[in-house]
Amino acid sequence: MGLFSAMNASVSGMNAQANLLATVSENISNSNTTGYKQASTLFRDIVDQVGATGDYSAGGVTTLVRYNVAEQGGLSSTTSATDLAIQGNGFFLVDDSNGATYLTRAGSFVENSSGNLVNAAGYTLMGYSLAPGAGGVTLSSAGLTPVNINSTALIAAPSTAGTFTANLNSNAATLTGAPSFTNYTSKSSVIAYDSLGNPVTLDTVFSKTGANTWQIDVYDDAAPGTPLTTQTLTFDPSSGDLAPPSPTSLSIAVPGGVTASLNIASTTQLASSFAVSQATMDGNAPSQVKSVSISADGTLSYVFANGSQVAAYKIPLGNVISPDSLSNISGDVFQVNSDSGDLVIGVAGTGGLGLVQSSELENSTVDLATQLTDMIVAQRGYEANTKVFQTGSDLLAQLNNMLK
Amino acid sequence: MTSYISTQSISSSMRQSILKMQAELAASQTELSTGTYADIGQTLGSRTGDSLSLQTQSSLLQTITETNQTVATRLDTTQTILGSLQSNAQDLLNSLIESNGSNSNAGTIQASGESNLQSLISSLNSTLGGDYIFSGTNTSNQAITNYFGPAAPNKAAVDSAFTAAFGMAQTSAGVSAISASSMQTFLDTAFAPLFQGANWAAGWSSASSQTLTNRISESQTVDTSVSANNPAFQQLAQAYTMIADLGTQNLSSPAYQTVTTVARNLLTSAISSLIDLQAGVGLVQSDTNDATNQMSLQMNILSTQIGNLESVNPYEITTRVTDLQTQIETSYSLTAQLQQLSLIKYL
Amino acid sequence: MSLSSASNIAKSGLNTVSAETSFLSRNVTGASDTATYSRKIANVISSLDGSRVASVTRASNLAVFGNLLGATSASATQNAISAGLDTLNQTVGDVSSSSSSTTSNSTSPAALLSNFTNALQSYEASPSSVTLANSAVFAAATLAQGLNSAAATVNQVREQADSGIAASVQTINSLLAQFQTVNAQIVGGTATSADVTDLQDSRDNILSQLAQQIGITTTIGANGDMSIYTDSGVTLFQGGAARSVTFSSTHTYTAATSGNAVYADGIPITGSSAAMPIANGTIAGLATLRDSLSVTYQAQLDGIAGALINAFSETDQAAPGPDLPGLFTTQGATSLPTSTTGLAGQITVNPSVDPSQGGNALLLRDGGISDTANSDYTYNTTGDASYTARLSQLLAKLSATQTYSASGGITTSANLSDYAAASVSWLEAQRSNVSSQSNYQSTLLSTAGTALSNATGVNINDEMSKMLDLENSYSATAKLLTTIDGMFSMLMTDLGNLA
C-alpha cells in the first residue's frame, strides 16, 4: 500500500524534524550554560519493505540525539579562583548528595556551608586529600573525598628545613677569648616555628677562631645558655667556599618543635663585610586559610594569612574511551555507561588529560548561528513533510469521492 | 637603546637645580655685602684657626700700641720735668759761680735755693692720671716729703743735726761765728748722710727704687719711669737744702765759701746725672716710638693676611651673581616651556 | 570557530582594554606622586579564546633602588652630623675680622681669651688703675662664662643627639611594624596572584623612610618575602618578623656622661664596643656626634679651662706650700684640679677677686687671690700701686707652652691662644668636611632618585600615547561586536522572513 506508506513516512519525517527542532531549542536555551555540550540530532532512514516489482512501501526516518561531549568549549575568565575549567580532555569527578559519582566539565565551584566545593548544579567536587595520614593520590575512586576548603580552622606547621646563606668577612680579626653568646665576630638570626606554631628566634653566631676557620653556634634567643648546635666551618682559601669536612647543613632541635635542617652549603668567606643573602625557614604560625590556589596539575593549596602555602588536595580528572557516549544527566553531568567504556582516573596534564585552569569557565559549545540555520532547515523539512502528507490525504479523498 | 625619562624627574631636576642656584645666590649676596665669605668657618675649615691667631695677634699689637701711648705720655712728662730741674740747677750753679764765694748777694742766692728746693719737691711729686710718676712702683704715694710742710721730718732732721753740731739753730745770729773748717766737718759727717740711704728714705722719700717697667712690643720690656731715689735728686736736694736752710745769709765769709763750694760740686755732679737720666729716658722714648711704628707695620701685614684668608673678590662675586641670575631666569623660562610640551595639549 | 566564539573573543577584548585603561589611569594619577610610585604594567596574554590580563607587575630596578637606599642613608648621616656641628659652631660665633678689633664680638673661647689677654695687657701698663683691673677681671669672667656656655652647648648637643637617637629608634620600630604588615600582605597576595604592586610601592616607601634612620640592605626571597639587615649585617626583619631595636635614653649629659648604645636584635650597633657597628643613617650620624665629635670638642674646651687654671695658679711665696688656684678656679676648689674632665663647665672667676661678688680686682696685681687670709700667697708685699711683676708673670704664663690631654685630638703642647685657635680650626675643619660630604651625598641622592624615577616612574606623554592605542583598540573591538550583532539580526529577521 504505497499511498499509506507514503503518508506514514511523512509522519515519521515530521517527527524527525520535530526532534531536530527540539534539539535546536535545547541548544539555544543552553547557549550560556557553563559546560553544556551541544546536542545534535542524527537522522537514520527506515526501509519498510522491498516487495515485488511495482509494489513499493515507503519506509521513513528515525532520529538519534547525541551530545558532542568531547568538543572543547571556549574558556572565559572569571575572578574566582575556584572557577575551574579543563583545557583538553577529561572531566571533574563530582558526587551528588547520594554519593553517586558523575563526570562534569561545569566547574563553577563555590564553597558551601560545610566548606565543600559544589558547582552550580549542586554537585560536590571530589579529590584526593594530601593531608598527612590520608590515603594520598590513589587514582582510583576508592580514595576520593569531597574537596573541603573550610577557612575557619587554624593550622600551624613546625619548621623542618631552611637555608642560611651568608658571607663571612675573611678580613675579620680572630676572636679573642672563647666564642659565646656575647663574644662573637658576627651574628644574625632566623625565625623558626615550634610544633604549636610559636615563633622561635634562632641566633646564628659566627666566631672567627683562626685563618679560614670559623665556629658557628646556634642559640635559642629566649634561652641562650648552651648552643643548640656547634660546628666548625673551614673555608677553602683559594675560593672562599666551604671546604670539607665542614658540614653543609646544621641539624637544629628547635625547642618545642621538631629537628630542622638548616642548609649552610652556600656560605662563603670572602673579603667583604658580613652580609646575609638568604635566610629562610619553613613552617608557620597558627594561621587561618586565607584563600586557595589551584595549579594546572590540579593541586589545590591552602594559602595562609602569612603567605605560606600548603598543598591540601589533588583534584584528579576522569575520562572514558568514548566521551560522546556518556549518558547525559541534568546539571551538565555525565554518567558512565557500558557504551562509554570504563572510567579512568588520572592527574591533569598526564596521560592525554587536559590541564586544570583556575579562574576560568568553559563556555557552552552551542553556536547560535548554526542553531538558527538548523532551525530554518527543520522548519522547511517539516513543511515538506506536511506537503507530502497533505498530498497523500488529497489522493485518498479523491479516491473516496470516486466511490460516491 | 631606548631612553625613558619620567615626568617626575623632568620637573624635579629643574626644581632641584633652581633651589641650589637660589641658595648660592643668597650666599653670594651676603658675601657681596660683607666682603667676606658667607660662612668663613666652613670655607676656611682647618685654616680658621690661622685667621683667629692672626686676629688675636693683631688685637694684642693694637692693645700694646694703645698702652704705648700711656707710656709715651709718662716718658714725655718725665723728660720735661728732668729738663726743667736741670735748667733750674744750672741757673743756681751759674749764680754761685758768679758770686764766687762772696756772701754779698747771699740773700738772693738763699731765696733762689729755697725756690729751687720747692720746685724740686713739687716736680718730683708730679702726678699723671693720679700716679706719682717719680714714686717708682709706689705710685700711690708722694715721692718726696715737703720740706716746708708742717712738722716735716726732713726739716726736723736738718735742724736737729745743725743744733747738735753747733749748739744753735740756723736762724740764730751766732752762726756767723762758725768757722769754715767746722762747717766743712758738719757738711761731710752730719749733713750729707741725711740725704743718703735709710735717712733719705725716712726723711725725704716714700718712693720705691723699683722703677715702672712696661712691655712696649711683643718682646721688648723697658723701664719707663725714674725713681725719686736717684742720686741726682738726692744731690739736688742736698745742694738746695744747704743753700736754703743753713743760715747762709749770716754765715761768715769763709764758712759761706765752704758751703757754696760743696753746693757747686754737688750741683755739677747732679746736673751731669740729670743729663744721663734725660738721655736714658730719651732712649726709651725713641724705643717706644720705634716699637709703635714697627707694630703698626706689622698690623698692616696681619690685616692683609687676614684679608687674604677671609675676603672675597667683589668682582668675582658680582660676575657670579650675574651668572646665577641669568641661569635662574633661563631655568624659569625652560620650566614654563616644558610645561607646554605635553601630549595632553594636543589631544 | 563560530559567530558565538567571535562574540566571546570580542567581549574578552573589551574587558582587557578596560583593565589596561584602569592601569593607565592609575599610572597617570601616580605620575606626580612624589612617594615611590612605580609604573604599573598589565601583562596581557592571548589565547584561542581572546586576551586577558594575566598578571600585574610594576616597573622596578632593584639595583637602582638599592643605590637610592644607600644614598639616602649616607645623606642622612651627614645631615645629622652637620646639624649637630652647626649647633657646636654657636660656641665659635662670628669669626670674621670685621667683628674683632681689640674687643671681639665673637663668642669663641679663642676670641674671649684674646680679649682677656688684651685687658690684662692694658692693666699691666697701668697697674694702679682700678678701672683696668676691673675690666681685666670682667674679661676673665666673660671668658669663664664663655667656656661654661660652650660646655653647656656641647652637653646640649649630646642631649639632643641622644633624644634624636631615641626618636629614631622609635621611628625604626614603628616602621618595622608597618613593614611587617605590608610584607605579610605582599607574601599572601603573591601566593594568590593578587595585585600587590601598590603594596610593593608602599613597602619601598617604608624602606626609604627606614634608610633615613639606619643604613640597610635587603634580600628578597620566595613569594616576595623581604628580609632587612643593617649595613653591618645585623638582622632587622627576617622570616616575617621584625627584630626589636632598643635604646635606653640618657636625659642629662655632663662631660663625664657616656651615652648608651643602640641594640638591634640584641647586638650593639653603635658605640666603640659595638661588634657590628652601623655605618650610615641618622642613628649613625647622631651616635658619631654624641660619642665622638662632641666628646673631643668637650676635651678641647676642658683643656683650655685646665690650662687657664694652671696658668693663673698662685705659688706659696714664703714656704714650700702647694700651688693654689688663683684668678680661675672651680666652685669650692681648695687645690689645683688633677683631671681636666668637665672643667670647662665648672670654671669660674675666684669670688675674692671679682668686684661683682664683693671681691677686690686689685688682687690680680697683688696676688693672694687663693686665700685672702693667708699672706704667704701675696706677691706684692710692699703694697705698691704700680707693682707689675705679678702681671708680667701672668702674661708670660699665658703665652707659655702648656700640655693638654691627647683626648682633645689636636696638639698636646701649645700655648693657650694657639690651642684655642687650633680647637676652632678643628671644629671648622669638621664642619667643612661634613659640609662637602653632605653636598656630595645629596648630589648622589638626587642622582639616584632621578635614576630610579627614570627606571620606574611614569611618563605622562608615554601613557597618553598608550591611551590612544587603547582607544583605537576599544573602538575596533566595539565595531567587531556591532558587526556580529548585525549578522545575528540578519539571521533573526532576514532568514525569518524567508519562512
Of B12, B45, B344, Cβ closest to residue C464: B344
CB contact under 8 A, C95 and B46: no
User: Chain B residue closest to C418 (CA)?
Assistant: B53
Long-range contacts (CB closer than 8 Å, 24 or more residues apart) made by B101-106: B101/B253, B101/B256, B101/B257, B101/B260, B101/B261, B102/B253, B103/B248, B103/B249, B103/B251, B103/B253, B103/B256, B106/B248, B106/B249, B106/B251, B106/B256
Question: Grid coordinates representing C332?
Answer: 669650692
Per CB-CB distance under 8 Å, the chain A contacts of C235 are 188-189, 276, 279
Of A188, A274, A376, Cβ closest to residue C495: A376
Of B221, B306, B344, Cβ closest to residue C97: B306
> What is the maximal distance between C-alpha atoms in chain B?
143
B53 has a chain C CB within 8 A of its CB: yes
Beta A110-111 vs A154-157: how paired, if at all?
A: unpaired
Per CB-CB distance under 8 Å, the chain C contacts of B141 are 385
pLDDT along chain A (404 residues), means of 10: 82 92 92 89 81 73 89 85 90 90 91 88 90 80 85 76 90 88 89 89 91 91 88 91 88 90 91 88 81 88 76 91 89 90 90 89 88 88 92 90 80
Chains A, C: CB pairs < 8 Å: 138
Question: Which C residues 204-263 touch A at CB under 8 Å?
Answer: 217, 219, 221-223, 225, 227, 229, 232-235, 238-241, 243
What is the nearest CA distance from C465 to chain B, expressed in angstroms?
Answer: 8
User: Chain C residue closest to B215 (CA)?
Assistant: C125
C464 has a chain B CB within 8 A of its CB: yes
User: Chain C residue closest to B311 (CA)?
Assistant: C96
Best of B48, B57, B217, B224 to mutate (most C CBs within 10 Å, chain C): B48
CB contact under 8 A, C124 and B137: no
Q: Which chains touch B (3 or more CB pairs under 8 A)?
A: C
pLDDT tens, per residue, chain C with 499 residues: 577 888 888 888 898 999 899 999 988 888 877 667 888 888 888 877 788 888 888 888 888 899 999 999 999 999 999 999 999 988 887 777 654 444 455 678 888 899 999 999 999 888 888 899 999 999 999 999 999 999 999 999 999 999 999 999 999 999 999 999 999 888 888 877 788 888 999 999 999 999 999 999 999 887 788 999 999 989 999 988 899 999 999 988 988 888 899 999 989 999 888 888 999 999 999 999 999 999 999 999 999 999 999 999 998 888 788 888 989 999 888 888 888 888 999 999 999 999 888 888 999 888 888 888 888 888 888 888 888 889 889 999 988 999 999 988 898 899 998 999 999 999 999 999 998 998 899 889 888 888 888 888 888 888 889 999 999 999 999 999 999 988 888 878 876 676 5
Per CB-CB distance under 8 Å, the chain B contacts of C449 are 9, 12
- 3-state secondary structure (DSSP) of residue A45: strand
C315: left (phi over 0), alpha (psi -120 to 50) or beta: beta
CB A354 within 8 A of CB A348: yes
C102 has a chain B CB within 8 A of its CB: yes
CB contact under 8 A, B215 and C424: no
CB C91 within 8 A of CB C108: yes
C43 has a chain A CB within 8 A of its CB: no
C194 has a chain B CB within 8 A of its CB: no
C293 has a chain B CB within 8 A of its CB: no
What is the nearest CA distance from B44 to chain C, expressed in angstroms?
Answer: 7
For residue A232, the Cα-to-chain-centroid distance in whole angstroms is: 48
So what's the pLDDT on residue C101? 46
- Compute the CA torsion angle B4, B8, B9, B15 (nearest 10 deg): 160
What's the burial of C481, exposed, middle or buried (CB within 10 Å: 0-12/13-18/19+)?
middle
So what's the pLDDT on residue C45? 85
Task: ipTM value, please give it.
Answer: 0.83
What is the rounded CA–CA span in Å between residue C413 and residue C406? 9
Helices (H), C238-357: 282-288, 294-311, 343-346
Of C103, C385, C454, Cβ closest to residue B4: C454
So what's the pLDDT on residue C97? 65
So what's the pLDDT on residue A370? 87
Q: Which chains touch C (3 or more CB pairs under 8 A)?
A: A, B
Q: Which chains touch A (3 or more CB pairs under 8 A)?
A: C
pLDDT digits (tens, 9 = 90+) for A54-79: 777 788 899 988 888 888 888 888 88
User: Chain C residue closest to B62 (CA)?
Assistant: C102
Of C11, C225, C498, Cβ closest to residue A307: C225
What is the rounded CA–CA span in Å between residue B47 and residue C104? 19
B205 has a chain C CB within 8 A of its CB: no
pLDDT digits (tens, 9 = 90+) for B200-249: 888 888 888 888 888 888 888 888 888 999 989 999 999 998 888 887 77
* Mean of pLDDT over chain B: 87
So what's the pLDDT on residue C1? 56
User: Chain C residue closest to B48 (CA)?
Assistant: C425
First-to-last alpha carbon distance for chain C, in angstroms, is: 27
What is the nearest CA distance from A249 to chain C, expressed in angstroms?
Answer: 19
pTM: 0.82
3-state secondary structure chain B: CCCCCCHHHHHHHHHHHHHHHHHHHHHHHHHHHHCECCCHHHHHHHHHHHHHHHHHHHHHHHHHHHHHHHHHHHHHHHHHHHHHHHHHHHHHHHHHHHHCCCCCCHHHHHHHHHHHHHHHHHHHCCEECCEECCCCCCCCCCCECCCCCCCCHHHHHHHHHHHHHHCCCCCCHHHHHCCHHHHHHHHHHHHHHHHCHHHHHHHHECCCCCCCEEECCCCCEEECCCCCCCHHHHHHHHHHHHHHHCCHHHCCHHHHHHHHHHHHHHHHHHHHHHHHHHHHHHHHHHHHHHHHHHHHHHHHHHHHHHHHHHECCHHHHHHHHHHHHHHHHHHHHHHHHHHHCCHHHHC
Of B52, B131, B347, Cβ closest to residue C424: B52
pLDDT digits (tens, 9 = 90+) for B157-207: 888 888 888 888 888 888 888 888 888 999 888 888 888 888 888 888 888
Best of C58, C90, C97, C122 to mutate (most B CBs within 10 Å, chain B): C97
CB-CB neighbours of A50 under 10 Å: 9
What is the nearest CA distance from C170 to chain B, expressed in angstroms?
Answer: 31
Buried b (16+ CB within 10 A) or exposed e, C379-410: bbeeebbbbbbbbbebbebbeeebebeeebbb
Beta A309-314 vs C226-230: how paired, if at all?
A: unpaired
What is the rounded CA–CA span in Å between residue A315 and residue A293? 12
C72 has a chain B CB within 8 A of its CB: no
CB contact under 8 A, C425 and B50: yes
What is the rounded CA–CA span in Å between residue A110 and residue A118? 5
CB contact under 8 A, B67 and C122: yes
Please report how the helices B153-166 and B231-245 are oriented relative to each other, as an axis angle in degrees rounded to 10: 60
Per CB-CB distance under 8 Å, the chain B contacts of C417 are 53, 56
CB contact under 8 A, C491 and A372: yes
pLDDT digits (tens, 9 = 90+) for B80-115: 999 999 999 999 899 888 887 777 788 888 888 889
CB A355 within 8 A of CB A86: yes
Best of C384, C387, C435 to mutate (most B CBs within 10 Å, chain B): C384
Per CB-CB distance under 8 Å, the chain C contacts of A303 are 188, 191-192
